[in-house]
Homo-oligomer: A and B are copies of this chain.
Amino acid sequence: MVTHIAVEPSVTRALLERFHITRKRSVSLTEGLSEEDCCVQSMPDASPIKWHLAHTTWFFETFILEKLEADFRPHHQAFRVLFNSYYNGVGNKHPRAQRGMLTRPSTDEVIAYRHNVDARMARLLESAVAQGGHTELATLTELGIQHEQQHQELMLTDVKHLLSMNPLFPAYAEGVPAIIYSARVPELLWIPMEASIVEIGHASDAFCFDNETPRHRQFVEPFSLASRLVTNAEYLAFIEDGGYRNPNLWLSEGWDLVRTNELTQPIYWHQGDDGAWHEYTLYGLRRLQSAAPALHLSYFEAEAYARWAGARLPTEFEWEAVAAKYAITGDTPSLHPHPTQQAGLTQLYGTAWQWTSSSYAPYPGFEPAAGAIGEYNGKFMVNQYVLRGSSCATPAGHARLTYRNFFPTTARWQFTGIRLAKSSDRAPAYL
């Protein structure tokens, strides 16, 4: 699952602090929401907010407390099944599509569950600090924190989907991380890269998920990568040019989807009777912003747009190669990605996850962790595509250069956008 991380008292103390910060942030994300908003499941792919709050707690209880707590007793026996997501190795699971049926336990009971587990985790971590560190505890706690950060992003995507189904188009809240983009769209530059062997995957001692390892070599043929994401205005031009009506622009399976579901625009776009376009956002329904990045696109939409634009999607190796090369020296992109980049490269992180043409697959030599925790990533390595970067909904400090997000080609409710690429016939003109 993870490479074991170095442990000293100071490290463990910092971990304890990050544990508390992370745990509090999850709850704070529910501030503008009612109990009802937190309970309902809008589709099988999404989970209720309350379930996220409980499942992230279950994760600490199951993979840390049960293993390392002296006289472990589960907070509530039934929660062990109710909030298991997909870990077959741990026992029974409550069916995913029925997570929204769990009106009980109440939100208060779930919060009590969180407090209980938080207190027990704090005791364990404090005791480890006192004893000079505990490698396994530190490793698993870091994993639990990262896992919870992933669910924080899902809480935002899932609640956005739920609220979008309400004809009243309610706003989620005002305090949501905003998408950073300038009102003036910078010119799209093509950042070239020569043919080369590149090193791909996680290298440092810092945390990463198992799917980012092992670091290995890939050969990359010459290509260019777009300096920024596709904008709403550009995507609208695709629509107005008949993008959703032309089968030649789509992968065969994507076209079937367009026809079957009568798709004509991105999931959260609405066109008024007057022809004006609006977009449902976490702030409610807003006039479509031309300069903003086009969001919530499926792989099929991204791929069709790229074909229409005379380009293609990058592979995940191309993306990582360029991102690694043009990160500002002295920056530590693996932990603190920064929106300002050399070479005009922007919006790598913090705006939208960027579809790549790479099917989600194990790196050469990949070995999942032993036990149930090894079910984390590997068993999803089929029929999904890798997304790189991070989005406006990704928690601070969660993204990194080698991060591999993944979703099925049909997923439209994530903060997903498009960065284009092009193959080159000759040596790049740039540099």
Contact = CB atoms under 8 A, between A and B. Distances in A.
Interface residues of A, number: 70
A86 B78 CA distance: 39
A251 B101 contact: no
A383 interface: yes
Nearest to A43: B101
A81 B170 CA distance: 16
A255 B382 CA distance: 12
Interface stretch (A8-16, A120-128, A216-224, A334-342): A216-224
Contact of A101 (B40, B220, B255, B312): B40
Contacts of A82: 167-168
A382 B217 CA distance: 24
B382 A103 contact: no
A184 interface: no
A107 interface: yes
Contact of A221 (B104, B106, B247, B364): B364
Contact of A168 (B105, B163, B167, B383): B105
B365 A78 contact: no
Contact of A40 (B40, B167, B255, B382): B40
Contacts of A250: 379
Number of copies: 4
- The binding surface of chain A is classed by DSSP as mixed
Interface string A328-359: 00000000000000000000000000000111
A251 B425 CA distance: 38
Contacts of A39: 36, 39-40, 103
B165 A101 contact: yes
Contact of A365 (B170, B253, B358, B425): B425
A244 to B, nearest CB: 14
Interface of A: 34-40, 42, 50, 78, 81-82, 86, 88-89, 94, 98, 100-107, 162-163, 165-168, 170, 195, 197, 216-221, 223, 247-248, 250-255, 299-300, 303, 312, 357-359, 361-362, 364-366, 375, 379-383, 409, 423, 425
16 contacts: A34-B104, A35-B35, A35-B36, A36-B39, A36-B104, A36-B107, A37-B104, A88-B247, A101-B166, A103-B166, A223-B364, A251-B381, A252-B379, A358-B359, A358-B361, A359-B359
